[in-house]
Amino acid sequence: MLRLLSFVLFLATWWIAALLAGSAKLPAPSIVFATMIAEARSGALFLHLGVTLARVVLAFTLAMSVGSAIGHLMGRSRLANRLGDPWLILLLNLPALVVIVLAYIWAGLTEAAAIAAIAINKLPTAVVTLREGTRALDPALDEMAQVFAFPRWRTFRHVLLPQLAPYIAAAARSGLSLVWKIVLVAELLGRPNGIGFEIGVAFQLFDIPLLLAYSLSFAAVVLVIEAVLVQPFELRVSRWRLRAA
């Protein structure tokens, strides 16, 4: 209820601001929604949204799995940590734009280059978070699993993964917000479709309703995914904590 109220308040503010600023700079919500519906009718909106989402899913999965594996290794092994740490610091501080431009120069304006560039941007935060998680593992539970001769898979599934779950959730949460932002830049610079590409077109034509229509549709999808996927997952992995006395 409160969320709905806050949304209505946002629309009202927008409407008033549009009246004051004039529709050339800030079109009223009705104009933007009309553009949105027109784009949806033609199918363009769903095409671009779908393409962008596919890139997000691919880059996110790639970065999370590779980043988790590297982070776990660096948390476990002092040697791996020593070797990997300078690279990690370099990647953490490298601007996203540099990675994207270099990827397009070296690998051409291809899908693989775009996805790799997005993944590389997200990778170091996953590594850092999972490294911390691995360092915080409880050796007492490891010993328990060893004494009771847990097979590898059971140790992974029931001893290791639940301990890493909060770190994985944190890496996913921060990583996802990073990927949402970077995917549009990668599309703007070197892809012929996707929300980022459409925003680039709208920018060149100064078509503000189109720009807002795509931006807001994208924001809505992000919100829905957060509410439907990320938050329930976080709740699920911490359900044993909630019930704790």
Partner 1 sequence: MQLDVDITGKSFISAAGKPHRVLSDISFALATGEVGVVVGPSGCGKSTMLRILAGLDPNYQGRVARPAGARLAMVFQEPRLLPWRSVADNVRLAAPDADDARLAALFSVLELSAHRDHYPGELSLGLARRVALARAFAVEPDFLILDEPLASLDDALAARLREEIATLVGSRPMITLLVTHSLDDAVRLGDKLILLSARPARLLHTLPIAIPRTARDEQVIAAIKADLARLNLANPSGSLDPDRQQ
User: Do 55 and 190 meet the contact criterion of CB atoms below 8 Å apart?
Assistant: no
Site string for partner 1, 226-245 (x = CB under 8 A): --------------xx-xxx
* Tokens read off for 131: 């490294």
Give the C-alpha separation, 197 to 229, whole Å.
26
CB of 232 to partner 1, least distance (A): 17
- Closer to partner 1 by Cβ: residue 24 or 244: 244
User: Do 168 and 133 meet the contact criterion of CB atoms below 8 Å apart?
Assistant: yes
Site string for partner 1, 126-165 (x = CB under 8 A): --------------xx-xx-xxxxx---x---xx--x---
CB of 224 to partner 1, least distance (A): 28
Total Cβ atoms within 10 A of residue 65: 12
- Closer to partner 1 by Cβ: residue 95 or 139: 139
CB of 73 to partner 1, least distance (A): 23
DSSP assigned state of 194: S
Give the C-alpha separation, 94 to 101, whole Å.
12
CB of 238 to partner 1, least distance (A): 9
User: Do 133 and 70 meet the contact criterion of CB atoms below 8 Å apart?
Assistant: no
Residues that bind partner 1 (rule: CB under 8 A) add up to a total of 18
- Closer to partner 1 by Cβ: residue 25 or 158: 158
CB of 54 to partner 1, least distance (A): 33
Is residue 1 within the footprint of partner 1 (CB under 8 A)?
no
- Closer to partner 1 by Cβ: residue 132 or 142: 142
Residue tagged 């290791």 (tokens): 160
Query: CA distances (Å), 5 to each of 8, 9, 19, 166, 227, in order?
Result: 5, 6, 21, 32, 17
Give the C-alpha separation, 221 to 241, whole Å.
30
Binding to partner 1 in span 157-216, by CB under 8 A: 158-159, 162
CB of 244 to partner 1, least distance (A): 3
* Tokens read off for 35: 């553009």
CB of 139 to partner 1, least distance (A): 10
- Closer to partner 1 by Cβ: residue 148 or 206: 148
Residue 86 CA neighbour count, 13 Å, CB half: 3
Which residues of the chain form contacts with partner 1 (CB under 8 A)? 140-141, 143-144, 146-150, 154, 158-159, 162, 240-241, 243-245
